[in-house]
Amino acid sequence: NFVERVTTANEYIWNNEGVLKIALVDCGVKYNILRNLAIRNCKIHVFPSNVSSDEILNINPDGVVFSPGPGDPVHNQGTVATASSIVRKIPTLGICLGHQIIARALGASTYKLKFGHRGGNHPVQDLNSGKVYITAQNHGYAVDETDLPAGLIVTHKNLNDGTIEGIRHEELPIVSIQYHSEAAPGPLDNAYIFDQFIELVQK
């Protein structure tokens, strides 16, 4: 389990002055994700990847983030179990591996890509607006569209191979994307995902 090698050993707080309380499950988080949340007035409680849902709920967060990280989501069943409880109670954002973890928590499957997505120039289309974003990606697994459970809706697709790049839920307050939202240096037009998450948190 590669996530165990990169997750934080201890809980810590980033931006103690923030107003919105966000719990972040660290599967290998990059500082730019923390910075993007901080500039949106968030106080981020960063937890190790093996955190339980009870530990998260104990801080009474306004929202929860499952971060990017390495490897196969199948190897992170504890984190999937935590997500399964959290997504039904609190606004949740998933990015990269976090996106796959949320999908599995809701009953979807994931699979290994024949050719992993690596680099900073992957075209991704927002299926609602039709807008195409150039994204940074670094992953070898994807959510399987052939057996999506009821309620899950595909929001973004990769224009190179047609794989899922984003999902939402008909009823639950979830934002979930496969690509990097905060890459720097790299495409910077994808940070809007944080704004969408904050909108869910503030509803």
Please give the pLDDT value at position 120.
85
Tell me the domain boundaries of the chain. 3-202
Q: Which amino acid is at 24?
A: L
User: Which residue in the list 27, 42, 45, 96 is annotated as catalytic?
Assistant: 96
124 backbone dihedrals φ, ψ, rounded to 5°: -125, 130
User: Which residue in the list 45, 99, 169, 180 is annotated as catalytic?
Assistant: 180
Residue 152 tokens, joined? 């899950």
CA distance 101 to 84: 9
Closest CA to 77 of 6, 27, 23, 117: 27
Q: At what angle do helices 97-105 and 77-86 cross, to 10 degrees?
A: 70
**Residue 182 is a catalytic residue:** yes
Please give the pLDDT value at position 86.
98
Which class in CATH covers the domain with range 3-202?
alpha beta
Please give the pLDDT value at position 189.
63
User: Which residue in the list 42, 99, 165, 182 is annotated as catalytic?
Assistant: 182
**Residue 145 is a catalytic residue:** no
pLDDT < 50 positions in the chain: 184-185
Closest CA to 35 of 199, 201, 203, 188: 188
pTM, entire model = 0.95
- Tens digit of each residue's pLDDT (9 = 90 or more) over 15-57: 999 999 999 999 999 999 999 999 999 999 999 999 999 999 9
Please give the pLDDT value at position 180.
85
